[in-house]
């Protein structure tokens, strides 16, 4: 795992003034990667790094000779760390690069962003034990967790083609549903549209087919982390998911932050991975000393909602929940990589692994509406008097994430917004 170095120094400041402001998501200690172009243009998307309220064009700054983000992600750890060090040094106060690199900056407000890389394959896991338990209680009160949950990271293969970037607007999905008292299913728009608060883990260097990635090496294959909203049609899901799992209830849209926060940037915010007393310990292929010592990530996540009425009246989004990943995830990112490849499956640069819904143990830490409203039985009342059990047309969902800890500079994961119409 990445050791702390000069790029993490909390005293480090940038000549980009906005990067030094308190509460900034993108200080010089962060330096997340994304793809951008000038808004309104037909230019090819280029690789950029967020710094304050600006984006640094890496090719224009002479730092890379490609616009292929996946090729950059495939680089080895040492090469990636060297690039991070060069970007950090060039953006630091007093750098001789300031005059030249100032011309390679574009205000983020003038940039059009796209998904951070080409996503070849997408696997969604189910690491949120509190989410899994709450959902299980709704459908299986006598056995909320299936017998395999604490032994094997559960996942399914999702759809990469419908993954969009923050700001995504999508149509309410249609499909088959079946009411409990109905003799046969009906067809129409989903009435139980939900969100899922997740982290997305991007693969950097891949592995050859037939060659599993050992957990001790898994972090070498992780490029970074993003925020992910895996929209879900709960009524479609309830009818279709047996015996093979989610299909149309999940593949209509998923929304990502435009930025990938690298594993290097997250080094100051690692945490111990510890199982509750009495729970089984991971099998040997999912266990290592380093994973136990610092395999978890300490990230605060929050969800906000803005209805169409609020937007029309100029009312800002209101917070629904806030929680932390250290209390939510039952498996680490390294364990997901090790398990995904243990059968010989080959991962590739740009592959995306979803964490699954990350809910904390308390009600105000839920990562979905189905949990907040107990399956729609307890509607929530918003400050303006509107009520919600599930999402309605015109609703905009906002997700935010950040890391902060004594002795380190706060860094953010950016923001994910999506609107259903």
Task: Look at strands 352-354 and 197-203 and give their pairing.
Answer: antiparallel
**Of residues 130, 131, 221, 340, which has the active-site annotation?**
131
Please tell me what DSSP assigns to residue 184: S
Non-local CB neighbours of 398 within 8 Å, separated by 6+ positions: 303, 304, 305, 306, 317, 415, 416, 417
Q: What is the DSSP letter of 129?
A: H
Cβ(128)–Cβ(324) below 8 Å: no
Structure tokens at 222: 């992780």
Give CA separation, 43 vs 37, 40, 47, 169, in Å. 6, 9, 12, 22
Q: What does each C-alpha distance from 170 to 99, 121, 176 come to in angstroms?
A: 42, 21, 19
Structure-token pair, residue 385: 């008097």
| Distance from C-alpha of 165 to C-alpha of 170, rounded to nearest angstrom | 12
Q: In what order do the strands lie in the sheet with 411-420?
A: 168-170, 411-420, 396-403, 300-306, 318-324
The phi, psi pair for 95, rounded to 5°, reads -70, 140
Tell me, yes or no, if 131 is annotated catalytic. yes
Contacts of 286 (CB under 8 A, 6+ apart): 153, 215, 331, 335, 338, 339
Torsion of CA 128, 402, 322, 340, to 10 degrees: -10
Q: What one-character-per-residue DSSP string does 306-338 give?
A: E-HHHHHTTPPPEEEEEEEHHHHBSS-HHHHHH
DSSP letter for 217, please. G
Q: Which residues pair with 233 in a beta bridge?
A: 193
Helix H or strand E encompassing 403 = strand 396-403
Q: Which of 7, 412, 73, 23 is nearest to 226 (CA)?
A: 412
Could you give the residue numbers annotated as active site?
131
């Amino acid at each position: 795992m990445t050791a702390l170095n000069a790029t993490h120094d909390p005293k480090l400041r940038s000549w980009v003034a906005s990067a030094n402001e308190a509460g900034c998501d993108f200080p010089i200690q962060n330096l997340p990667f994304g793809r951008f172009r000038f808004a309104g243009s037909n230019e090819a998307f280029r690789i950029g790094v967020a710094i304050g309220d600006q984006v640094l064009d890496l090719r224009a700054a002479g730092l890379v000779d490609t616009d292929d983000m996946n090729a950059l992600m495939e680089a080895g750890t040492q090469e990636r760390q060297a690039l991070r060090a060069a970007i950090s040094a060039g953006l630091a106060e007093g750098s001789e690069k300031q005059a030249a690199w100032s011309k390679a900056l574009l205000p983020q407000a003038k940039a059009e962003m796209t998904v951070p890389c080409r996503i070849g394959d997408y696997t969604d896991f189910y690491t949120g034990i509190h989410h899994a338990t709450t959902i299980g209680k709704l459908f299986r009160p006598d056995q909320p967790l299936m017998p395999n949950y604490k032994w094997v990271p559960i996942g399914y293969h999702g759809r990469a083609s419908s993954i969009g970037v923050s700001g995504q607007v999508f149509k309410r999905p249609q499909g088959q549903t079946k009411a409990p008292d109905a003799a046969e299913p009906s067809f129409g728009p989903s009435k139980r549209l939900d969100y899922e608060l997740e982290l997305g883990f991007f693969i950097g260097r891949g592995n050859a087919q037939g060659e599993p990635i050992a957990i001790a090496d898994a972090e070498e294959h992780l490029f970074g982390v993003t925020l992910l909203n895996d929209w879900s049609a709960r009524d479609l899901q309830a009818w279709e998911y047996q015996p093979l799992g989610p299909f149309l209830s999940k593949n209509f849209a998923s929304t990502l932050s435009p930025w990938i926060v690298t594993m290097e940037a997250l080094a100051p915010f690692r945490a111990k991975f510890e199982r509750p007393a009495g729970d089984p310990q991971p099998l040997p292929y999912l266990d290592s000393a380093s994973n136990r010592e610092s395999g978890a990530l300490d990230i605060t996540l929050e969800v906000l909602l803005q209805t169409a009425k609020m937007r029309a009246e100029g009312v800002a989004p209101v917070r629904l929940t806030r929680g932390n990943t250290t209390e939510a995830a039952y498996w680490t990112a390294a364990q997901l990589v090790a398990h995904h490849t243990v059968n010989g499956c080959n991962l590739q640069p740009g592959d995306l692994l979803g964490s699954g819904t990350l809910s904390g143990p308390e009600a105000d830490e839920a990562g979905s509406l189905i949990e907040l409203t107990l399956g729609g039985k307890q509607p929530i009342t918003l400050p303006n008097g509107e009520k919600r059990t599930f999402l309605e047309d015109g609703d905009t969902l906002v997700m935010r994430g950040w890391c902060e800890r004594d002795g380190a500079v706060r860094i953010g994961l950016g923001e994910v917004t999506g609107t259903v119409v």
